[in-house]
Structure 1
């Protein structure tokens, strides 16, 4: 077993912690949606909830894969493990699947507001950034 001697910059730790918090919020969102909590239901109209609770199972699975693999990737990134890149890629692919459904196939897309559209933009961008960043850190020898 080799020890990595490349010391990451402070920005590495800041990005890693922010990414972990962001993706942990994604897990919170997934759990609230999956368990249909009162907090989740209070954020939507009955019509929106009907659509959300009847999403195809593959979309819900993509949501779960995206958030759980990304949290795991963040932990691995903070542990400076190169395999973080693989888990960020899995999360990115799941985000692409979910975003594609939400943009092109979701029957409730006409009810989207500014928040939904901003998340449809932010989530893939953040996911792409984290994959790119983990790849860069691996290429720079920060991850081993």
Structure 2
């Protein structure tokens, strides 16, 4: 039972990531205009490689969850790809952009949580393979 609960919660988590990506990638000028000036600068200066890493992280993670629900080992590869996307995105967000200046120390909470969940999903998939819950 815990396998299904974890798999479905992880799928919902990753769908929320896809929605966040779509919201950022397709942000209109009107949406951008209501943000504080410092946040506007963050959104308008994101390099293509960081946006691509965000897309890879959320779409690979979502597909990984779908494969986990379908009980397929491919989930592990997709979660690893998602993890690489998360790392690249977090390097940009935490060390290259000025996000920490704009959001303060509290701005690190969500990136750390995302990283922990990405690592957990790889670990959980390995455990699921070992226990023959997925094939």
Aligned to 1:81: 72
1:78-126 CA deviation, whole Å, 9 max, x = no partner?
0000010000000011101111111111123201146522102100000
Aligned to 1:12: 3
- The separation in 2 between residues aligned to 1:43 and 1:95, in whole angstroms, is 27
- The separation in 1 between residues aligned to 2:55 and 2:122, in whole angstroms, is 18
Runs of 4 or more, structure 1, over 3 Å off, are: 37-44
Pick the aligned partner of 1:33 from 21, 24, 47.
24
User: Matched residue pairs, number?
Assistant: 135
The secondary structure found in structure 2 opposite 1:128 is helix
Cα gap change, 1:83 to 1:117, in 2 (>3 Å): same
Matched, 1:140 2:131: yes
Aligned to 1:118: 109
- The separation in 1 between residues aligned to 2:26 and 2:72, in whole angstroms, is 32
- Relative to the length of structure 1, the TM-score reads 0.86
The secondary structure found in structure 1 opposite 2:93 is helix
Structure 1: give runs of 5+ residues left out of the alignment: 1-9
- RMSD over aligned CA atoms reads 1.9
- The separation in 2 between residues aligned to 1:101 and 1:134, in whole angstroms, is 27
Deviation at 1:53, TM superposition (A): 2.1
Aligned to 1:56: 47
